[in-house]
Structure 1
């Protein structure tokens, strides 16, 4: 178990790069299942997955359903939508799935610089 470790995963890819996108969600969900404290950041084209129903539309053969991975992350991890990415897509707080927060670079840096944190960018 990775109980005392935390992992920050920043995913920039969306449906336009499905393997990279799915890999980020899979790694985050696997770390969460292993006992790590996980924070998933949705940036760039992955920002759309903060909206209801969008993850269910994602399909990649031989990959776990993105909606299921996201649900697990929302249940016991943290999911954050980048402030600037949301603004560029006209996504507001009222639009996102319950449990998704909107935050900016200062919060991302704080999480990444935590004593026991590791960061991955996809």
Structure 2
């Protein structure tokens, strides 16, 4: 399952839904690739997910930890560049990749893509 998050703290419920679905899928044994784009790109940087709060929701940092243990997390190349985020700025296990990689993952056999 490929999940693309386009929202960050600017749309907290939409952002949290994506992380919740990704973590639930990982916990269910589903292969997950979580793409952080736009303002969600910041959650690939250490400490940023801990700053995110949403009442009655599992902490974003906890959801991200679940995804990192059993899935893949990617920050969009262009989104990272616009925010001056480089590979050395990211949480261990998070990578930077672009549209060709996203398309390759989405076109994989049996893959479903969700965009939030």
Q: TM-score range by the shorter chain?
A: over 0.9
Question: Does residue 1:89 correspond to 2:83, yes or no?
Answer: yes
What residue in structure 2 maps to residue 49 of structure 1? 43
What residue in structure 1 maps to residue 62 of structure 2? 68
Question: Does residue 1:12 correspond to 2:6, yes or no?
Answer: yes
Alignment partners' CA distance in 2, 1:37 and 1:106: 19
Report deviation, 1:8: 0.2
TM-score normalised over the length of structure 2:
0.99
RMSD: 0.4
What residue in structure 1 maps to residue 92 of structure 2? 98
Q: Could you give the per-residue CA deviations for residues 15-56 of structure 1, whole angstroms, max 9, x where no partner exists?
A: 010000000000011111111000000000000000000000
TM-score normalised over the length of structure 1:
0.94
Structure 1's consecutive aligned runs of 4 or more residues displaced over 6 angstroms after TM superposition are none
More strand by share: 1
Gaps of 5+ in 1: 1-6
Equivalent of 2:111 in 112, 117, 121? 117
What residue in structure 2 maps to residue 27 of structure 1? 21
* Count of aligned pairs between the two proteins: 116
